Every structure is written in C-alpha cells, then in structure tokens.
Structure 1
Amino acid sequence: MGVRTGGAARTVWAAALAGALLGPLALGGCGLTSGSPMVDDVVPGSVGQGLPLKGADLTVTSKNFSENIILGQIMGLAFKAAGASVLDRTNIQGSIGAREAVKTGGADGMYEYTGTAWITYLGHDRPITDPREQWRAVAEADARNGITWLAPAALNNTYALALNRANEKKYGTKTLSDVAALSKSDPSAVSLCVESEFAARNDGLPGMAKAYGMNVPASRIQKMDGGIIYTQVSGGGSCTFGEVFTTDGRIKAMNLAVMADDKHFFPNYNAAPEINAKAMKKYPAIKDVLDPITAKLTNDVARELNAKVDVDGEDPHDVAKDWLIKEGFIKKG
C-alpha cells in the first residue's frame, strides 16, 4: 500500500539496503536517477514463451518496504525471463517517488495498491467498497495520468491495529470499535505506535480516529519505523496497539492479535501492476507476462514471502526468484 507504505512494514534489511545501494544516488524529480541491471540467467517457464520482450529495455521500481520490493523483483525477473534487459530501481523511499517514476517514464512499471492510488494520489476521501470496482475506478482515472493499470491481485495489503496476546486477554479488544471504546473508558490503556506517514494520511490514523470516535491524545502516539512497531507491540513495550499490515508475515511469527475493521474504514489495497502508458503501448506483451503471475498473488502467498524477508532475513530478490521458479513461471537458464 505504500504507504501504504502500503503493503508489509519497512524492514531493517530494507533500510540497510537503501543506505548501501541507493544512498549515493541523486534523487531527481521522479525520485531516482540510477539503478542496477538484473543479470540473472533466467528463461521462460509458463510466461514469456517466445521471448515477447526481447530487445526491450525496461526499468522496474518499488517502494522501500519488503512486500513491495519483493513484488518489484517479481516484475523485473518476469520481464528478464521474457527477453528484456531490466534495470532494477526498486527500494525507493516513500510512496511518491516510485509513483512519479512510473508516471514520468523514469521507470516503466511497479506493483501499486489500489487504495493508495485512490486516496493518496487521486485525492478521494471515500474508498469504494467493492475491490474490483475500486480497481476499475483507479484504472480509469489514472489513464488520464499516463498510467495503465493491469489486472489486480487478490492480495489486499490493508492497514490494521494489532496487540500482543497478553494485552488482548487483559483488555478484551477484538475490533477497532472496541479500541475506540477503551480509549474513552480507560484512556491510559490505549497507546499507539505508528509510522509517520500513517499518522498523517486521510486513509490512516486521522481518518480512522474520526470514523471510530477514537480518542487518543498526541502524547500517547509514538511515530517510528515499521519494523520497530512489531517488536514494541510484541514485547509489550511503549505501545499497546501498533499499526500493522494484514499481509505481514510477522503477525503470525510474533503471535499478534489483529483488530477487525468492523466499520470497513480502510480502503481495499489490492496490489496490481501500474505501467507507464507509453511503455505499455510499445510493449503490449507486458500484460501477458504479468497477468498470470498477478493472479497467483494472495494474502497467504504475501505472508509467506514477506516472512522469508522480515522473519528469516532472506534477500527479497532471492525470495522473488525462488517463488517464480517454484510456481513454474520462469526457469533457471
């Protein structure tokens, strides 16, 4: 989601990689000016037969949290197996830089989240409840911005609040309405750890607090990196509740309890490829390469892949490559 920072939280790995690989890069108006070529020896499996992207020079990008980096690597590897020369410009700070890269042609494609586009980029206040209609509305609106949206995944990386099992037992909260009620009946019981972007976005904390009548003073809201939120909540640290993402593998690994969005405040954040319209026109085979892969992306798949990075410490590129090979989409050369 990017922020959404949209999908999986940012990770220590992502921050380290950003510093090591992207720190020296000058950031232009589109958010990036350099990158590294993908040199993997991969060939078509079930996608890319006949090398439909042979001769294409394509650049992929992503935001700087684990899930989106993995998705960016998936896209790049699929293009590579289909014959393209691929420049890897994934792991860009924040949501806007990667989005602008695709919009302006600094990159050719990325996986974006429908709710992020609808609320953050296109400026709407209210999400569309039906996920397919949300995607359709985004695709139609963004066509005017020079961006083509391909078919969406079932993967829906939306926001949530979570707490550890001890606090769940202590306070008995199951829904965001329960958290709002607790914030009024026992204000000292509710403290929040959130990312800075979530704290400011209309589809984040301000909107959630308004929709649920949640009364949490600023003194009880701490802003921090997403990876730290999980450890703070899990260990009963400085916050009772923390902002999490529903596809994050650490929810299961840390045995956290997720509060149900019982008023359906948060938008659908279905992942889908957004492609620069000029690149799409020039290389229409991009759709045939990506559609079957996107169709396999579910919340369960995302949690599994995200956990390999955020819990097991694996490299997102390796995680993406192993999954594509396991699913038969590409093969080793």
Structure 2
Amino acid sequence: MIRTAPGRVHRLRRRVTVLIAVCGLLVSVAACGLQSGGALPLRVNPGSVTVQPDLDGQTITVGSKDFTEQVILGYILAFVLSAGGADVRDLTNIQGSNSARDAMLAGQVDTTIEYTGTGWINYLGHEKPISDATQQFDAVRDEDLAKNGVVWIDPAPMDNTYALAVNQANMEKTGVKTLSQYAALVKSDPAAASTCLETEFRSRQDGFPGMAAKYGFDPAAAHTQILQTGIIYQATANGNCAFGEVFTTDGRIKALNLTVLEDDKQFFPHYNAAVNMRKEVAEKYPSIARLMKPVMDDLTSDEITELNRQVDVGGEEPADVARDWLKKKGFVTY
C-alpha cells in the first residue's frame, strides 16, 4: 500500500525516507545510524489521556508507512503518547511496508500501527488469510510474538482491505460487479478489463497475483498499468482505467462515485489496524496499551474513511486531521 501524503512537513520527512531506502539497498536499516526522527509538528496536552509515570520524559519514536491513512494513524499514535508525557520522535512516512517493518525490528522505530492482513501474509509468509477478523488478529499476535518478538495489541474495528473499483459508466458497460465477473472479463476480453495497479499490489501475494490465482485467471494476460496510488482513483473515475486498485477505507471512493467490486470468493484478508511494538518496548512502557485501547476502539472504518477524505479530498494535513480527531473525541486538548 503506497500513497503519498501532501504538505511541507512531509517533504521534510521524505528526506528521512530516502535515507532509510538508500541504506536498505546497501545493507539494512539498522546500519543507517538513524536513531530517531524529528519533533512532532504540533503540540497536544492531556485530555482523557493523562501523563503516565512510565512514559513521562521518555523518548519514543513512532513510525508509519507513507500513504495517507498510515500517516494519519502514525500521528494518532504519536499524539496520544505525547499527551501521555513522552518525548515523541516523528518517523512517519517510511516508504513501503518492508522498510517500515525493518525499521521497527532494527530498533529505529519503537512503535507503529500495522494491519493484521499485512502481518499474516507479508511478514509471516502465509498464503491463505483467516476469514474471521478476531481469529486473524489472534493468529498474527501469537505467531509474530513467538517468531519475531513483536507485540500486537489493541486491534481496531477498522478494516482497510484491498479491492478493485470501477466507475458507473464502465460498470454498466461491462456488467462487472464482482471479482468473479472481472476474472471472466479478463479471460474473454482483456482489453476491456484494463486495470491500474500500484507496484506493491502488483507483486504481493495478498494482492493481484494471489487474487488471480483465487479467481482463476492469468495475471500476465490482464491489461495492467502501473500508477501511483493517488493517481489510480482519478484515472479510474475518468475511465482511463476500466478498473483500479483501491483501499476500502479511502475517502476518494465515495467522493469520485466509484463502486467496489464484491470479493465474492473472499480472497482478500482482513486488514484491521493494531498497535505494534517490540516485546522490550511493550514491557518497558505498559501504559501504551492502556492509553491506546479506547483510541483504537473508536477507529471504525467509517471514522478512518472520513479522516482519509479530509486529507485526500479536502487537502488537509494528516497531522492536523489526526490531532483534531483526538480533540473531538476528548483524548487530547490543545
């Protein structure tokens, strides 16, 4: 999942992202010597989140991946810890899932918000998702702790899974409303099923190749075009792509009047967001779990979709959107 967050603050952070990416090509993130990010761009004060003895004055680095929702979630986590008394270092906007994960495992990042489907498929190497969201979380939590010392806590009800979408004209023209119908169109008329994808989805096993295997078509036969995620939504709405990869909690789906194809064979995993940290971080700062539990409980798919819309459609800054949401809910003040 790759999306670019707008704004001056994020241009500064992209310099950090580039450093991580370059070091990853040479050896690993751990060898970069990057110990923390910059200070948070905005201040918060305690609300229902109060200063905790184990966090007070402690330096904690919060990371995220580089698409809108992840940056928002990263700031939600960062502002909660800041209101809890921590000196939070901002390392949001790391490019790509693997780089963000490696940064946490290497100790460059202390805590992130990650998705259960990504953990199960990408990090733990499973090919088949678990259809029940609670069972999926439990399985990821137990296996990642046992194998990698990664703690998963406080799963949110929000579920940001992959999907394909179509505009109204192409849906009427092709009659495609489900992924099974999409697969049939790829096999019968590949040109009519032209599909825009981003790079990571094109190669991930929980993405296009796995979906093709589940629905019985050759991914190489599909007419696909690689675009940046933010461009795919508009290209699909304009009809430049008959179909486009989307994320189900993206506010642009509704804003652009796109329709999500039904995953009628239930291929795509659940991607419930949950707080991640190394075991030693969880043991040193037990109040992170207590502070984040009510926050994560409030992060429904509808809530995060609206926050995403404010950034991607409304042009607001992710840090502002995250802080305003926390204030609205009473978690912080400013």
Fold conserved between structures, TM > 0.5 = yes
| From 156, 162, 184, the counterpart of 1:159 | 162
Question: Which runs of structure 2 are paired with 1:15-94 in the superposition (5 Å)?
Answer: 19-23=11-15, 26-27=19-20, 28=23, 29-30=28-29, 33=34, 34-38=36-40, 40-48=42-50, 53-94=55-96
Amino acid of the structure 2 residue aligned with 1:138: V
| From 245, 253, 256, the counterpart of 1:254 | 256
Aligned partners of 2:80, 2:41: CA distance in 1, in Å? 13
Shift of 1:47: 2.1
State the partner residue of 1:11: 4
State the partner residue of 2:186: 183
Aligned partners of 1:314, 1:221: CA distance in 2, in Å? 31
Shift of 1:45: 1.4
Alpha-carbon contact 1:107-1:276 (below 8 Å) kept: no
SS in 2 for 1:48: coil
Aligned partners of 1:37, 1:152: CA distance in 2, in Å? 27
Alpha-carbon contact 2:5-2:71 (below 8 Å) kept: no
Structure 1: runs of 5 or more not aligned? none
SS in 1 for 2:264: coil
Residue-by-residue CA offset, 1:75-102 (whole Å, 9 max, x unaligned) = 0000000100000000000011111122
Q: Does 1:170 align with 2:173?
A: yes
TM-score w.r.t. the length of structure 2 is 0.92
Shift of 1:11: 3.3
Distance 1:115 1:18, change over 3 A: same
Question: Greater share of helix residues, 1 or 2?
Answer: 2
Shift of 1:219: 6.7
State the partner residue of 2:330: 328
Distance 1:12 1:235, change over 3 A: farther
SS in 2 for 1:269: coil
SS in 2 for 1:261: coil
Residue-by-residue CA offset, 1:109-153 (whole Å, 9 max, x unaligned) = 111000001100111111111111111111111113121111211
Residue-by-residue CA offset, 1:141-171 (whole Å, 9 max, x unaligned) = 1113121111211111000000111111111
State the partner residue of 1:282: 284
State the partner residue of 2:215: 212
State the partner residue of 1:315: 317
SS in 1 for 2:205: coil
| From 113, 119, 137, the counterpart of 1:117 | 119
SS in 2 for 1:274: strand
Aligned partners of 2:122, 2:172: CA distance in 1, in Å? 36
Aligned partners of 1:183, 1:40: CA distance in 2, in Å? 48
Aligned partners of 2:9, 2:244: CA distance in 1, in Å? 25
Alpha-carbon contact 1:112-1:272 (below 8 Å) kept: yes
Q: Which of 134-143 and 44-53 deviates more?
A: 44-53
Amino acid of the structure 2 residue aligned with 1:115: G
Amino acid of the structure 1 residue aligned with 2:275: P
Shift of 1:30: 2.8
| From 133, 138, 143, the counterpart of 2:135 | 133
Shift of 1:220: 1.2
Distance 1:212 1:39, change over 3 A: closer
State the partner residue of 2:107: 105
Q: What fraction of aligned residue pairs are identical, expressed as a percent? A: 49
Alpha-carbon contact 2:154-2:293 (below 8 Å) kept: yes
Shift of 1:49: 5.1
Q: Which of 217-226 and 176-185 deviates more?
A: 217-226
Aligned partners of 2:13, 2:191: CA distance in 1, in Å? 43
Amino acid of the structure 1 residue aligned with 2:29: C
Amino acid of the structure 2 residue aligned with 1:30: V
Shift of 1:42: 1.8
SS in 2 for 1:70: helix
Alpha-carbon contact 1:190-1:216 (below 8 Å) kept: no
Alpha-carbon contact 1:194-1:222 (below 8 Å) kept: yes
Structure 2: runs of 5 or more not aligned? none
Alpha-carbon contact 1:180-1:215 (below 8 Å) kept: no
Shift of 1:294: 0.5
Q: Which of 51-60 and 282-291 deviates more?
A: 51-60
| From 214, 225, 230, the counterpart of 2:228 | 225
Residue-by-residue CA offset, 1:234-282 (whole Å, 9 max, x unaligned) = 0011x21000000000000000011010000001110000012111111
Aligned length: 323
SS in 2 for 1:58: strand
SS in 2 for 1:26: helix
Q: Which of 78-87 and 33-42 deviates more?
A: 33-42
Aligned partners of 2:259, 2:4: CA distance in 1, in Å? 20
SS in 1 for 2:266: coil
Shift of 1:302: 1.0
Aligned partners of 2:5, 2:321: CA distance in 1, in Å? 16
Aligned partners of 2:180, 2:215: CA distance in 1, in Å? 6
Aligned partners of 1:215, 1:143: CA distance in 2, in Å? 36
Amino acid of the structure 1 residue aligned with 2:13: L
